[in-house]
Structure 1
């Protein structure tokens, strides 16, 4: 929620100016900083005061601007009374170089949870695993973040996620660094055709799985496009298969593609394999590993997520509108278009067009009587 007008950047700076406080606020990323003409720091060999910046250490929220105005007035008062001393700031946590990575990450986590809808398991799985790479007792610098980015392989999901998550942290701190320039070419379009089984192969390998419970897991992923962890938290309802929890929360998967697979794969009777501590494994984001190991055990030559990708491509073949298809799969229409529509060949597009044009209810041109 944007700050109220009373405690926005322009309003606070105007009050400081009207009060003849010679301090101004500005933003680096989402953090508030003070700028003023200050004496050189003790280790800087300069004879005269010059424009310098001090971090207030708070984000750009209503509460943050209120705190920042107080700090700016205090700084202005110290300057006028000639009581300013760099030890009041250098020895505190106001300056990034004097704060540890642990301190910044803890503050960022609190801020992010206040401003975003995020679960603890998502934080641990998507964010904390990257921030753990920072030395906890060292300061966070542009050089350190760039070094961590370069430890990841180019053009991989790991590189992309590392760049994105570290850039968000850098913006929060107020560091002037562009890490996204190193993210490479990895993206949703990197789903390779060779990784996606044909519908015929999906049926063939389903038949080869000897364990009925894991055969059900495989079948429900294939027919409903569930994520590998969602299969443990679904139930039948009148309108379809309901996912109780997963990466994007609850959702109703209201159609199987193909509907015939529900009976062929025996999906009406939910048969979950005996997996200990399912909830703990879910929180630790390890359920997917459990499913992948079973796929390898039964010699399935593709990863579990390939079944979801095959489902995504099938929604296009079924002429589902991207918005509806995205709702089926529990992601955004933009992700759906980017990830799956590129797999549709010219032949499939022509076939889809012919089906549409052969319908009796297709749009007809207007009839304009001759006058």
Structure 2
């Protein structure tokens, strides 16, 4: 059989192969000899396998899809940051591309393409995606790339080049700086800085983390991206230390009663400390604590609260609005709505309208870090972010719609269900069941009985009033007859 045969142009019984349902690949006969028919059925079978793989990726919310770029190869299709020198529609920084990674149209090719799709999706989620020569393909030969394989350069010099490349696709604001510090340089610092890149240097960094930990998982991920940037495609050393992403440990989310107790604890002075943060008036730390507990704010968002709008007498519902300009941006920008207190009485209980910012100088990251330190030294039993999780669960217990709660908290519905509702343990779920189902049923029966009694009494009163009106009408009619 000649290798130039293209099954995509085949037809059988008047139906082109591209219009044939791939799941029915076994029923395809073909007009030509046995060998071409086998090739055509294999093409349909792989096409069906790709459809199933894409369905599985969709269920896992992976946004990269597999695509048959030819009868013999599989590519990856998705929306990526624009290639160097390219621009999206209406100046958008993103554009849809089909990437050819050299995967054959076979079962093994489908499996490898699925793994690559998940890898690229993770790089997009963590803001670490970069166009490498592998992804650019032939275009890599037409553009100037800085991934020079130069064994003479020190790792510290390579990191500096890596950072310059990073800022080409990221804004130099607080959010961008935090991304670089948290997802990039935090891991790259584990490498020895004054030696050239080598397998031994990679081992030194990897040995600083423990297997089956998130530190090892993200270090492996970042080192692989860094090696790709440096033009190194031998990942044997990194793969030898690879570890699956561990599941997060279950948090102990404080109950409403524990939150109220923590309000008292965080106001207690600690005489063993003499820093300015410790001798600050207790009411100031309590105010910060109360805002985090009542409104489910991210710790750094406390410093973005629009105080003037909050204490405005017209703000009868005690809504909190954030002004990202106060902190050079927030994690997800401005909220689409004001944030309400799910327990309105906490506004008075914690005296939140009496503004008392704690004495907290320095950069925003330092201010946020001091909040964590204060929670720890006050022995509250939980961290500032746990108050945000408690706010999310409180909304679920009060039966606030998930979309509404996601808007209040400033993230997507997917993030709300994925991140926050997983912290609900067995006791929390049982409490919700008791409140939403059993308690509601009990109060409904009592309310129905009470309502029935009210209606019966109202009915008797109406009957008596009706009888009185009839009596008056009869008397009036008799009076007219006598006249």
Match of residue 14 from structure 1? none
Match of residue 242 from structure 2? 182
> Is 1:270 the counterpart of 2:355 in the alignment?
yes
Report the alpha carbon displacement of residue 220 of structure 1 after superposing the two structures with TM.
0.8
Match of residue 299 from structure 2? 228
Indicate the SS of the match to 1:272: coil
> Is 1:67 the counterpart of 2:147 in the alignment?
no
Structure 1: give runs of 5+ residues left out of the alignment: 12-28, 34-58, 72-91, 361-371
Q: What are the superposed Cα offsets for residues 291-331 of structure 1, whole Å, 9 maximum, x if unpaired?
A: 12222343322222222222232233233444443343344
Given the alignment, which residue of 135, 156, 159 partners 2:192?
Answer: 135
| Whole-angstrom CA distance in 2 between matches of 1:152 and 1:222 | 34
Q: Label 1:349 to 1:300 Cα distance change in 2 as closer, same or farther (>3 A).
A: closer
The CA RMSD measured in Å over matched residues stands at 4.0
Match runs of 1:21-36 below 5 Å: 30-32=131-133
TM-score, with structure 1 as normaliser: 0.63
| Whole-angstrom CA distance in 1 between matches of 2:395 and 2:163 | 37
For the Cα contact (< 8 Å) 2:206–2:220, is it kept in 1?
A: yes
| Whole-angstrom CA distance in 1 between matches of 2:132 and 2:170 | 17
Structure 2: give runs of 5+ residues left out of the alignment: 1-81, 87-96, 101-129, 269-281, 310-314, 445-483
Match of residue 15 from structure 1? none
Report the alpha carbon displacement of residue 205 of structure 1 after superposing the two structures with TM.
1.9
TM-score, with structure 2 as normaliser: 0.50
| Whole-angstrom CA distance in 2 between matches of 1:330 and 1:159 | 30
Q: What are the superposed Cα offsets for residues 201-237 of structure 1, whole Å, 9 maximum, x if unpaired?
A: 1011213424100001111111112222322332243
Match of residue 333 from structure 2? 250
For the Cα contact (< 8 Å) 1:101–1:140, is it kept in 2?
A: yes
| Whole-angstrom CA distance in 2 between matches of 1:153 and 1:201 | 34
Report the alpha carbon displacement of residue 108 of structure 1 after superposing the two structures with TM.
2.2
Q: What are the superposed Cα offsets for residues 168-193 of structure 1, whole Å, 9 maximum, x if unpaired?
A: 32333343428587344434x42423
| Whole-angstrom CA distance in 2 between matches of 1:110 and 1:230 | 29
> Is 1:215 the counterpart of 2:298 in the alignment?
no
Indicate the SS of the match to 2:322: strand
Match of residue 397 from structure 2? 317
| Whole-angstrom CA distance in 1 between matches of 2:198 and 2:399 | 50
Q: What are the superposed Cα offsets for residues 224-276 of structure 1, whole Å, 9 maximum, x if unpaired?
A: 12222322332243553315236515333522232321222122233111122
| Whole-angstrom CA distance in 2 between matches of 1:113 and 1:61 | 23
Match of residue 41 from structure 2? none
| Whole-angstrom CA distance in 2 between matches of 1:170 and 1:243 | 40
Q: Label 1:334 to 1:183 Cα distance change in 2 as closer, same or farther (>3 A).
A: farther
Report the alpha carbon displacement of residue 351 of structure 1 after superposing the two structures with TM.
5.0
Indicate the SS of the match to 2:133: strand
Indicate the SS of the match to 2:264: helix
Q: Which structure is higher in helix share?
A: 2
Choose 246-255 or 214-223, whichever is displaced more.
246-255
Indicate the SS of the match to 1:119: helix
| Whole-angstrom CA distance in 2 between matches of 1:106 and 1:9 | 31
Size of the alignment, in residue pairs? 286
Given the alignment, which residue of 99, 106, 109 partners 2:163?
Answer: 109
| Whole-angstrom CA distance in 2 between matches of 1:65 and 1:93 | 12
Match of residue 259 from structure 2? 202
| Whole-angstrom CA distance in 1 between matches of 2:330 and 2:213 | 21
For the Cα contact (< 8 Å) 1:221–1:308, is it kept in 2?
A: yes
Q: Label 1:66 to 1:240 Cα distance change in 2 as closer, same or farther (>3 A).
A: same
Match of residue 144 from structure 1? 201
| Whole-angstrom CA distance in 2 between matches of 1:354 and 1:213 | 40
Indicate the SS of the match to 1:250: coil
Match of residue 366 from structure 1? none
Match runs of 1:257-296 below 5 Å: 257-277=342-362, 280=363, 282=364, 285-296=365-376
For the Cα contact (< 8 Å) 1:142–1:176, is it kept in 2?
A: no
